[in-house]
Amino acid sequence: MNVKWTFVAVFAVVMLSNGCATTKSISGQAAESQGIVTGFLNKTMVADGKERAYAVYVPRNYDRAQGWPLIVFLHGIGERGNDGLLPTDVGIGHAIRKHPERFPCVVVFPQCPGLGFWDRAVSHIEKALEQTRAEYNIDPNRIYLTGISLGGYATWMLGAKRTDVYAALMPICGGGKEEDATALAALPIWAFHGAEDDVVKPAESRKMVEAVKKAGGQIKYTEIPKAKHNSWDDAYGDAKTIQWLLKQKK
């Protein structure tokens, strides 16, 4: 076996032994000293009577002695399934890989079933959140919900239903029901949309922003010039966006 293939084989064994969902799993001194594996990790749960795969991102400097903020990320229609991997490859997962130093938080990636929509998989989201809170030291006052496209719609929907759980929302290129505005007004929200989105029209975000404003809510809205449906790379790729989110508290 030549040097190249020896390296590939050893690398694969290491990654499998760590149970990682991606090729990045970096451990910090605090986590290592506590025997905690960090990076993007494979997880399983039982939701609606079936075993489901999901993923959790644990920052390299995770320390169980302190409470950590947690972000729940809801993917779009193209990442549905049960491999637990696809949701980490788009949106916030991509931003974490590029700039992990901007994400001093735990992130949970539930996965919507292949032919379903998030409104029929709320129990999957809540079970993944429940297990993550049981496994890691999560600050209950700093839990956030964000999502893209299909997950953007779910962020508006679930955020209105669970104002008791989430400290802030960040819906991206989604939409919702204007009648939920009164409930949503209780939470800080920063919504994003591409000005040239031809999949989900910007009007979907605009109507929700206006409805929440009329209900007296604290809401920010950024419409990204020249961006089409993929406005999430701009949104999550801006350090100020994540800084804002992690500052919010219940």
CATH number reported for the structural domain that contains residue 208 in this entry: 3.40.50.1820
114: number of Cβ within 10 Å: 9
Rounded alpha-carbon distances, angstroms, from residue 41 to 17, 20, 73, 109, 142: 11, 4, 15, 10, 21
State the pTM of this model.
Answer: 0.87
Residue 44 lies in a domain: yes
Residue 11: the pLDDT is 32
Name the pairing type of β-strands 106-109 and 138-148.
Answer: unpaired
Locus of tokens 């008791």? 164
Q: Which parts of the chain have pLDDT scores under 50?
A: 1-27
Continuous H helices in 148-215: 150-161, 181-184, 203-214
Segment (H or E) for 237: helix 232-237
Residues 52, 141, 242, 205, Cα dihedral to 10° = 80
In which order are the strands placed within the sheet that holds 39-47?
Answer: 39-47, 50-58, 106-109, 68-74, 138-148, 168-172, 189-194, 219-224
Q: Is residue 156 part of a domain?
A: yes
- Kindly state whether residue 10 falls inside one of the protein's structural domains: no
Domain that holds residue 78: 24-247
Q: b/e for 201-210, b at 16 or more Cβ within 10 A?
A: ebebbebbbe
pLDDT digits (tens, 9 = 90+) for 211-230: 999 999 989 999 999 999 99
Q: How many CB atoms lie within 10 A of CB 160?
A: 22
pLDDT at 29: 58
Residue 106 DSSP SS3: strand
Q: What are phi and psi of 185, to 5 degrees?
A: -65, -15
Residue 13 inside a domain? The answer is no
Is 38 part of any domain?
yes
Name every residue whose Cβ is closer than 8 Å to that of residue 3 and which is 6 or more positions away in sequence.
Answer: none
Neighbours of 44 (CB within 10 A): 13
Residue 14 lies in a domain: no
pLDDT of residue 32: 65
Alpha-carbon distance of 142 to 113, in angstroms, equals 27
Point out which residues pair with 57 in neighbouring strands: 40, 107
Note the pLDDT of residue 15. 35
Residue at 5 is within a domain = no
Q: Give the rounded percent of residues in the chain with a pLDDT score beyond 90.
A: 83
Residue 15 domain-assigned (yes or no): no
What domain count does the chain have? 1
**Phi, psi values for residue 57, rounded to 5°:** -100, 125
Contacts of 11 (CB under 8 A, 6+ apart): none
